[in-house]
Amino acid sequence: MLISDFHTTLVPLLSCVPKQQIFVFVDANTAEHCLPVVVEEYPVLQSAPVLVLPAGEENKSLHTAELAWSFLFEHHATRQAVVINIGGGMVTDLGGFVASTYMRGIRCINIPTTLLAMVDASSGGKTGLNCCGIKNGVGTFSQPMETLIYPAFLSTLSSQDLLSGLAEMIKHGLIRSEKHLRDLMALLPDLDLQYSSVIEDSIAIKKAIVDADFKENNIRRALNFGHTIGHAIEEAYAAEANAIAHGYCVMWGMVAELYLSVIKLGCPRSVLTDMSHLMIEYYGRPMCNCRQREQLITWMLHDKKNFVASNGSDSQPQISFTLLRDIGCPIVDQVVSKEELNEALEYLFSL
C-alpha cells in the first residue's frame, strides 16, 4: 500500500508483536538513506536489532542468508518475530526468503526503497536468492504481512536504478495496458515519479496478474516477458564481474523478445521500433557481443522459468517464451527455435 508516513501504518501492524521480536534488515545504502526516516516516524525501532547486509546482487546469496539466520538466532528471535525488510529487491528477496524459512517461517513487512522493488520485487510473494550459479535458483512463495510504499525514498536513488525500475513498469504497460505505457512515456526524460499515479497503476497491474495465478501455472508467466533473454544477458554480465541493474537487462530482453513477437505472432513492427528507439536513447546497448550468443542460449536453457521441451522428432531442447500479439495481449508458452532466437539476438546486437 502507498503510504505517506510510517507511524500510522506500523503502529497497528505491530501492535501485537513484542518489541524485542521486531528485527530490521537493511543494506549499507538503505541504512544511510532510508532507515533514519522510518525510525524517526516510528521510534520503537530505535531499540530493534538491525542487520546491515552488504549491498549488491552478488550478495543475494546463501552465505548472506546464513548470516541473517544466525543474526536471528543470536537475538533469540521466536516464531512471533517480525522482520522488516528496508531496501531494494536484493533486501526484500533475501529478507523475505530468510523470514519464510527461519523456524519454518516467520512474518515480514517489506518497505521497498527502489523503484524496481516498489513496482515489482516486493509484491507478488516471490522470495529467493541466487544459488549454484542460477539466478533466483532457490526461493519460496511467501507473502509479506504488508508492503509499504513510500515514494519519497526515490529521491536518493541513482538515475540508473530509476531506469531499471522503469523497465519493469514498461513491461507492465506492454503486457497489460497501452495507457500505462503512454503515461510512462510522458514522464520521460525527467522521471519525476513521486507525485504521479504511475507507481500505483503499475502495482495494480502486477497484483491483478498475480491474484489470477499465484503459483505461476499460466498467466503469471506474462510477467516473465523480456526476462528469458534478459536473465541470460544478466548472467553474461555477472560472468565478467560487471555490475548491471536488473531492469537494463529486462529492457534489452524485451526488445529481442518483441522481435520474436513480430516474426512469430505478427505483433505490429511499430511497437518493436518504438521500444528499440527508447532502449537506445535511455538504456544504451548491451555490452555482450554476438560471439557470446551460444553462451546466452545455454544460460536460457538453464533458467528455471524456461519450460524446456523437446519437439518429438529430434531431442533438441527448446526454450519457451512469453511473446506479445500486440500491446496488452501476451501469449505464454511460445516455443522458439534456435534459428529464430539467433535472429532475435542478431537484431538486438545490430541496433
Ligand X SMILES: NC(=O)c1ccc[n+]([C@@H]2O[C@H](COP(=O)([O-])OP(=O)(O)OC[C@H]3O[C@@H](n4cnc5c(N)ncnc54)[C@H](O)[C@@H]3O)[C@@H](O)[C@H]2O)c1
Residues near ligand X (CB under 6 A): 27, 29-30, 33-34, 55-57, 60, 87-91, 93, 113-114, 116-117, 120-121, 124, 126, 136, 153, 156-157, 161, 164, 245-246
CB atoms within 10 A of CB 52: 15
| 342 given a catalytic annotation | no
Q: How far is Cα 253 from Cα 118, in angstroms, rounded to an integer?
A: 21
What nine digits make up the cell of 343?
A: 535472429
In 3D, which of 171, 161, 246 has the Cα closest to residue 209? 171
Which CB sits closer to ligand X, 191 or 267?
191
Question: Residue 51 or residue 272: which is nearer to ligand X going by CB?
Answer: 51
Cα dihedral 178→180→184→186 (10° resolution) = 70
Rounded CA separation 11/66 (Å): 30
Separation CA 296–CA 345 (nearest Å)? 9
Identified catalytic residue from 206, 221, 264, 305: 206
Cβ at position 217, least distance to ligand X in Å: 16
| Residue 142 grid cell | 511467501
Please confirm, yes or no, whether 107 is among the known catalytic residues.
no
Of 107, 171, 172, 231, the catalytic one is 231
Residue of closest CB approach to ligand X: 89
Annotated active-site residue 246? The verdict is yes
Determine whether 168 is an active site residue.
yes
Q: Shortest gap between Cβ of 96 and ligand X (angstroms)? A: 7
* Active-site residue flag, 291: no
- Establish whether 235 is a catalytic residue: no
- Exactly one of 60, 85, 107, 126 is catalytic; name it: 126
Neighbours of 315 (CB within 10 A): 7
- Min dist CB 112 to ligand X, Å, is 7
For the bound state, the minimum distance from the C-beta of residue 158 to ligand X, rounded and expressed in Å, comes to 7
Chain-centre distance for alpha carbon 151? 17
Neighbours of 248 (CB within 10 A): 22
In the bound state with ligand X, the residue whose beta carbon lies nearer, of 97 and 347, is: 97
Is residue 224 among the annotated active site residues?
Answer: yes
- The catalytic residue among 104, 215, 217, 339 is 104
Of 33 and 325, the one with the shorter C-beta distance to ligand X is 33
Q: Whose Cβ is closer to ligand X: residue 34's or residue 181's?
A: 34
Point out the catalytic residue in the list 57, 168, 235, 257: 168
- 220 is known as an active-site residue: yes
Catalytic, out of 107, 171, 221, 246: 246
48 or 55, CB closer to ligand X?
55
Cis-peptide, bond into residue 189, ω within 30° of zero: yes
Segments in the chain forming alpha helices (H): 6-14, 28-33, 35-41, 62-74, 89-101, 115-116, 159-176, 178-187, 198-212, 227-239, 246-265, 269-278, 293-302, 338-350
| 151 to 26, 167, 229: CA distances (angstroms) | 17, 17, 30
Catalytic residue, chosen from 224, 234, 235, 257, is 224
User: Whole-angstrom distance between the N-terminal and C-terminal Cα of the chain?
Assistant: 39
Task: Please report how close the Cβ of residue 234 comes to ligand X at its closest, in angstroms.
Answer: 8
Is residue 216 annotated as a catalytic residue, yes or no?
yes
Distance of closest approach, residue 56 Cβ to ligand X, in angstroms? 6
126 is catalytic: yes
Q: Which is nearer to ligand X, 117 or 174 (CB)?
A: 117
Residues annotated as part of the active site: 104, 126, 168, 206, 216, 220, 224, 227, 231, 246
